[in-house]
Structure 1
Amino acid sequence: MTAETPFAQVIGDPIAQSKSPVIHGFWLENLGLEASYSKARVEPAALATYLDAGRELPGWRGCNVTMPHKQVIMTHLDSLDPLAERIGAVNTVVKQEDGSLRGYNTDVSGFLEPLTAMLADKHLFRMARILGTGGAARAIIAGLSDHGMVLVLAGRNPQKARSLLKELAAQGDHHVTTLEHFSAPTEFEFDDREGCLDIVVNASPLGMRGQPPLAFDFSHAPPGSIVYDIVTDPIETDFLKRACDAGFATIDGYSMLIGQAAAAFELFFGKAPPREHDAELRERLMT
């Protein structure tokens, strides 16, 4: 490879846990592209310096962005995609042909991808219960509200939840509650859910390795709900296992991880990734 060989990175602090190099490396290998993708630990104080260096590197196509940079990086960019600007977070930076840096948010498309077929159907009513009000929830709130979902947003701080809904989903009759509301059993009797779409999403780090489990009683999930957990380590969380045992359809965190990476890959390298090999990619991610 030469100094002009295309390459991209994922940046964050810490960054050792990132699986993005495995995903992008797998696609580059399958497509036979002469390019590379790696991870780089970038401390907050070094963010501007990193981006300035990238502008000058001929082969640098951009970077994916993880915590704690998703919001502060916006002030260092030359332009923002409208969706990223609306969400207030950037997870993908792409160097344009003129050398300027543009910020995108592919978390929305990544999250929605496994729901595409269901969202394309017509429903009498759509409701999503979203657990968590952190950075990941921003993209989920925006994406689901844009598809006509009535949202119930649960967090430790109800005022923060209200602010997020007002900012990102002003249209619609949405609701706020606490995480504790969903932890205890309920005797609520759901009405007929035929023709409805119900989703329960863990958008929090609860259940991640090293974090407390998510306390959710599945009596709060309407019959036929889809249960979605964005946590990727472990990939089968206690939340998903209990949902499966209760008979609910589930979506794991690799779905969003791979989906958001696919959109970024095309922005970086100008080619669609070979998604027909997703099963093999999942196996590689689990090793």
Structure 2
Amino acid sequence: MKKWFAVIGDPIEHSKSPAMHNAWFEEMAIDATYIPVHVPSENLEAAVSGFKTLGASGWNVTIPHKTAIIPYLDELDQLAEKMGAVNTVVRTNEGKLKGYNTDGVGFVRSLEEAIGTSQKEKPVLLIGAGGAARGIAFAMHQQGYTNLTIANRTVANAQTIVDEMGTGRAISLAQAEETLADFSILVQMTSAGLATGNFSMPFSLDRLAKGAIVADIVYNPLMTPFLQAAEEKGATVVAGLGMFVHQGAIAFNYWLGEYPNTNSMIAQLKAQLGGQ
């Protein structure tokens, strides 16, 4: 019987997940399909119930449902529970719905593809304290990054993540700018730089350390203004596209027990997005 998967969100038409997963199904000769489903917040419970009734094997969850969906699931993976956010739902063999979060681990895989695994003791500055930031902070901590600092406009929000992780420190954006030279790895985790939004730099990169590694979680545009500014300062930059592809590949693996080809997918999407 043909399996089917989906991504739910509001809005949803911008998502590149259907093209990515359907290409993987075709490449791997898997009899399945993946569709985008527009689900306004007031219809979320009905959508989950409908997916169960209609036999969806699993689905991805995007804005604004990553936290709101939790009460409608039967169980959560340990990392998703800590983060309080789900981006992947798996229908188990018993028919239960289990929630995972692949965003943070997807980011770490993308980062380590670019810089290797020998930088885990280097000082890391995470910029932002929203849902994506929470996921990346927890995943980096879980994957062995030992020196994390979270900078945010509202320091209390950064402190909340630090308290929940049980490690790290929280500082203001102004403090981050003043002490920028102290950090070897920077991760821009706010929505600044999205093609659909108005970009404003969180702070100046004038004090960026020579040879720093700077990552952004935004993948459209590929080179955000933040990454452009970092590159001009001589930094090694890591675009958000790898995170997007790897979080999808990890979800794919949860659903089907196979890991798809991420390198070819990154190359395909990069070409679509106008990158080299």
Compute the TM-score of the two structures, normalised by the length of structure 1.
0.87
Query: 1:51-130 counterparts in 2 under 5 A?
Result: 51-58=48-55, 60-116=56-112, 118=115, 120-121=117-118, 125-130=121-126
- Say if 1:52 and 1:5 are closer, same or farther in 2 by CA, change over 3 A: same
Greater relative contact order (Cα < 8 A, sep 6+)? 1
Give 1:277 shift.
Answer: 1.6
> What is the DSSP-based 3-state SS (H/G/I as helix, E as strand, rest coil) of the residue aligned with 2:79?
helix
Give 1:32 shift.
Answer: 2.2
Give 1:85 shift.
Answer: 0.6
Which residue of structure 1 lines up, in the alignment, with residue 203 of structure 2? Answer: 216
- The CA distance in 2 between the partners of 1:189 and 1:122, in whole Å, is 17
- The CA distance in 1 between the partners of 2:154 and 2:73, in whole Å, is 31
Give 1:281 shift.
Answer: 2.4
Code of the residue aligned with 2:215 in structure 1: it is Y
Answer yes or no: is 1:198 the counterpart of 2:184.
yes
Instruction: Say which of 13, 35, 46 aligns to 2:32.
Output: 35
- The CA distance in 2 between the partners of 1:206 and 1:180, in whole Å, is 17
Taking only the aligned residue pairs, the percentage that are identical comes to: 33
- Say if 1:81 and 1:269 are closer, same or farther in 2 by CA, change over 3 A: same
- Say if 1:48 and 1:105 are closer, same or farther in 2 by CA, change over 3 A: same
- The CA distance in 1 between the partners of 2:201 and 2:271, in whole Å, is 27
Code of the residue aligned with 2:127 in structure 1: it is L
- The CA distance in 2 between the partners of 1:248 and 1:231, in whole Å, is 17
Answer yes or no: is 1:266 the counterpart of 2:253.
yes
- Say if 1:120 and 1:243 are closer, same or farther in 2 by CA, change over 3 A: same
- The CA distance in 1 between the partners of 2:93 and 2:219, in whole Å, is 34
Compute the TM-score of the two structures, normalised by the length of structure 2.
0.90
> What is the DSSP-based 3-state SS (H/G/I as helix, E as strand, rest coil) of the residue aligned with 1:9?
strand
Which residue of structure 2 lines up, in the alignment, with residue 194 of structure 1? Answer: none
Which residue of structure 2 lines up, in the alignment, with residue 136 of structure 1? Answer: 132
Q: Is the 1:182–1:220 Cα contact (8 Å) retained in structure 2? A: no
- Whichever of the two has the greater Rg, that structure is 1
- Say if 1:136 and 1:52 are closer, same or farther in 2 by CA, change over 3 A: same
Code of the residue aligned with 2:156 in structure 1: it is Q
- Say if 1:284 and 1:219 are closer, same or farther in 2 by CA, change over 3 A: closer
Moved more, 61-70 or 219-228: 219-228
How much is the aligned-residue C-alpha RMSD, in angstroms?
A: 2.1
Give 1:220 shift.
Answer: 3.5
Q: Is the 2:90–2:97 Cα contact (8 Å) retained in structure 1? A: yes
Give a deviation string over 1:60-96, Cα, whole Å, max 9, x none: 1111001111111111100111111111110000111
Q: Is the 1:109–1:260 Cα contact (8 Å) retained in structure 2? A: yes
How many residues matched? 271
Q: Is the 1:61–1:268 Cα contact (8 Å) retained in structure 2? A: yes
Which residue of structure 2 lines up, in the alignment, with residue 242 of structure 1? Answer: 229
Q: Is the 2:245–2:262 Cα contact (8 Å) retained in structure 1? A: no
Code of the residue aligned with 2:258 in structure 1: it is K
Which residue of structure 1 lines up, in the alignment, with residue 15 of structure 2? Answer: 18
- The CA distance in 2 between the partners of 1:98 and 1:80, in whole Å, is 15
- The CA distance in 2 between the partners of 1:122 and 1:114, in whole Å, is 14
Q: Is the 2:80–2:99 Cα contact (8 Å) retained in structure 1? A: yes
- The CA distance in 1 between the partners of 2:267 and 2:155, in whole Å, is 41
- Say if 1:190 and 1:234 are closer, same or farther in 2 by CA, change over 3 A: closer
Give a deviation string over 1:41-70, Cα, whole Å, max 9, x none: 111111111111111223x11110011111
Instruction: Say which of 35, 43, 46 aligns to 1:46.
Output: 43
